[in-house]
């Protein structure tokens, strides 16, 4: 009467179907997490992800301990470790969350095969999406490639079932199962310890996730439609993305909690004509759509969804790439975003689009270079959303801004950071420059710069690329290499 529950990107006890079903089947449950640093190849976990994972695992182990169980930690190839542990524990079944990530899907196949040799059942359950991704099809049975009709279809489906209650009581099987010590995995940075900003900004783990969700839904959901585009407003968005990425919360929980909060008679419409709730649901559906795209296009992290873009000759520009990564491009809104990313492992969505556009269009550096940097530095680095979003901005996806639509970072800065709160917070050298010039200091009269104590090229860089030239070069490349072919 033992079952094994294999935790992966679902580090929670509530709305956890693998755990709930294991408990219905067996009295004893062995909880396991396996770290495989090499799995994923180029997409092995990045530095910021490892930081988050450490803290999230510590929180999960504590919660499992409080419920009476233990979390066994092992490092290595899960396809060997899981079957070995399951047979050691005499388990009749192994339960885990289903993933849309190619590496995990392949791993599932290997684990299932190995378990079958021991007559142990393998059961995977939906944990990280609202719907079963295979069931969503167009009327002619095709896979969606465009968000809007996909989202319309999702909204027309019956709501996902309400979340399962948290598991409160667990019995570990008899016997002693060897476990690594989390500290011995050394997932946290030491020399240098770059995680100070992360520690200040986040509270990884299921409890922290719920606290953040409750606060956002109670106080900020109504205004979401208007405030979600203002990066200087720190309460404008939920900042739930890393919690969702690690499965400390499920989209189902967020979906239902938002509906409940909205049901409390506060469904005000913003200037967009939609309620904050409606807009928020739309973003959760973007998350769903990214998972759906990866599920149906396993090469999405590496290859453009539109093959024509394989012809585009991206530039090799180590200097430009480095200036971008370090927040030293001389374009204030871009530098603010890249520094926010470095500092807290997260960047506002509007600014992710602006920074990604500068890299892939003005600098004409491939989206995969940007994707890899985000992957390493984001605490919410998610294979599906990251690759789908990069392809969206680069214009290489099926559902994209066309390539020739190029974000102008100055116009974007003026529109979405009109009082400069965001730029001044992350690029303090520009603190004293007036609003008029803040988003394009290279145009400022010498006297203005002097008054603000800035010497361009000294205290703050001159732009790494002329915005007009960069734009023209991108358009020409698109015309000559992609469209002409
Ligand atoms: P909110 O505005 O509060 O939205 C709630 C939730 O909806 C988010 O937590 C997220 O799960 C989902 N969501 C919101 N916006 C989007 C979006 N545009 N696409 C898909 N889902 C969305 N998000 C990631 O979670 N991981 C990534 O690796 C990632 N990489 C990105 C790379 C680029 C180039 C761009 C343009 C966007 C990327 N995003 C990524 C999407 C988006 O920027 C973040 O999900 C969002 O900023 C998270 O902040 P939030 O939780 O406050 O979002």
pLDDT of 116-132, one tens digit each? 999 999 999 999 999 99
**338, 355 in Cβ contact below 8 A?**
yes
**52, 246 in Cβ contact below 8 A?**
yes
Q: Is 352 in the pocket of ligand 1 (CB under 6 A)?
A: yes
pTM higher than the cut 0.80: yes
pLDDT of 15-68, one tens digit each? 999 999 999 999 999 999 999 988 888 899 999 999 999 999 999 999 999 999
If one residue of 201, 287, 288, 351 were mutated to test the ligand 1 pocket, choosing by the most ligand atoms within 8 A of its CB, it would be 287
What ranges make up the beta strands (E) of 111-235?
Answer: 121-126
**21, 95 in Cβ contact below 8 A?**
yes
| Residues 152, 157: Cα–Cα separation, whole Å | 9
Task: Give the phi and the psi of residue 98 in degrees, each rounded to 5.
Answer: -85, 140
**161, 132 in Cβ contact below 8 A?**
no
pLDDT score, position 124: 97
274: confidence class by pLDDT, cuts 50, 70, 90? confident
> Higher model confidence: residue 174 or residue 330?
330
pLDDT score, position 39: 86
Closest residue by CA, ligand 1 atom 19:
286
Q: Is 353 in the pocket of ligand 1 (CB under 6 A)?
A: yes
Q: Is 220 in the pocket of ligand 1 (CB under 6 A)?
A: no
pLDDT score, position 157: 95
| Residues 243, 250: Cα–Cα separation, whole Å | 9
Q: Is 240 in the pocket of ligand 1 (CB under 6 A)?
A: yes
CA dist 118 → 84, 90, 115, 229 (Å): 9, 10, 5, 53
- Domains with residue ranges and CATH for the chain: 2-127 (3.40.50.620), 128-163+205-296 (1.25.40.80), 307-483 (1.10.579.10)
Task: Give the phi and the psi of residue 381 in degrees, each rounded to 5.
Answer: -50, 110
pLDDT score, position 269: 66
Which atom of ligand 1 has the smallest separation from the CA of 242?
Answer: 25
**Ligand 1 mean position, distance from CA 228 (Å):** 11
Which atom of ligand 1 has the smallest separation from the CA of 378?
Answer: 28
Closest residue by CA, ligand 1 atom 11:
241
Closest residue by CA, ligand 1 atom 6:
284
Which atom of ligand 1 has the smallest separation from the CA of 216?
Answer: 3
Q: Which of 57-61, 301-305, 397-401 has the lowest mean pLDDT?
A: 397-401
Closest residue by CA, ligand 1 atom 3:
238
| Residues 463, 449: Cα–Cα separation, whole Å | 15
The complex's ipTM works out to 0.99
| Residues 231, 248: Cα–Cα separation, whole Å | 25
Which atom of ligand 1 has the smallest separation from the CA of 390?
Answer: 34
Would you say 238 is a known binding-site residue? yes
């Amino acid at each position: 009467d033992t079952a094994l529950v294999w935790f992966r990107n679902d580090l929670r006890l509530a709305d956890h179907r693998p755990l709930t079903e294991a408990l219905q089947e067996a009295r004893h449950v062995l909880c396991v997490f396996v770290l495989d640093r090499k799995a994923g190849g180029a997409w092995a976990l990045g530095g910021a992800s490892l930081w988050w994972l450490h803290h999230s695992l510590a929180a999960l182990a504590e919660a499992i301990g409080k419920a009476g169980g233990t979390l066994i930690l092992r490092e290595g190839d899960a396809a060997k470790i899981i079957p070995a542990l399951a047979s050691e524990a005499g388990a009749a079944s192994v339960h885990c969350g289903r993933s849309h990530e190619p590496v995990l899907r392949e791993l599932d196949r290997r684990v299932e095969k190995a378990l079958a040799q021991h007559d142990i059942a393998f059961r995977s359950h939906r944990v990280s999406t609202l719907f079963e991704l295979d069931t969503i099809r167009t009327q002619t049975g095709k896979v969606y490639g465009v968000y809007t009709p996909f989202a319309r279809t999702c909204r027309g489906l019956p709501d996902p079932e309400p979340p399962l209650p948290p598991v409160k009581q667990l019995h570990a099987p008899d016997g002693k199962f060897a476990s690594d010590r989390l500290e011995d995995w050394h997932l946290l940075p030491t020399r240098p310890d770059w995680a100070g900003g992360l520690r200040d900004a986040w509270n990884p783990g299921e409890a922290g996730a719920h606290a953040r969700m409750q606060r956002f839904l109670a106080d900020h959901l109504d205004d979401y439609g208007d405030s979600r585009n203002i990066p200087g407003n720190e309460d404008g968005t939920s900042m739930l993305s890393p919690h969702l990425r690690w499965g400390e919360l499920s989209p189902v929980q967020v979906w239902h909690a938002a509906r409940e909060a909205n049901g409390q008679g506060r469904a005000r419409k913003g200037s967009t004509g939609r309620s904050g709730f409606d807009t928020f649901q739309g973003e959760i559906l973007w998350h769903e759509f990214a998972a759906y795209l990866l599920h149906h296009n396993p090469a999405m992290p590496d290859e453009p969804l539109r093959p024509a873009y394989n012809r585009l000759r991206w530039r090799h520009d180590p200097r430009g790439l480095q200036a971008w990564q370090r927040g030293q491009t001389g374009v204030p809104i871009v530098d603010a975003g890249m520094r926010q990313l470095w500092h807290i492992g997260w960047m506002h969505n509007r600014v992710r689009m602006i920074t990604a556009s500068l890299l892939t269009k003005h600098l004409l550096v491939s989206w995969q270079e940007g994707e890899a940097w985000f992957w390493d530095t984001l605490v919410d680095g998610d294979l599906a959303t990251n690759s789908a979003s990069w392809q969206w901005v680069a214009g290489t996806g099926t559902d994209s801004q066309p390539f020739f639509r190029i974000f102008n970072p100055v116009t974007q800065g003026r529109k979405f950071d009109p009082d400069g709160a965001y730029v001044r917070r992350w690029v303090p050298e520009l603190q004293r420059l007036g609003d008029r010039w803040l988003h394009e200091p290279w145009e400022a009269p010498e006297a203005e710069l002097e008054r603000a104590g800035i010497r361009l090229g000294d205290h703050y860089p001159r732009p790494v690329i002329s915005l007009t030239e960069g734009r023209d070069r991108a358009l020409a490349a698109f015309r000559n290499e992609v469209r002409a072919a």
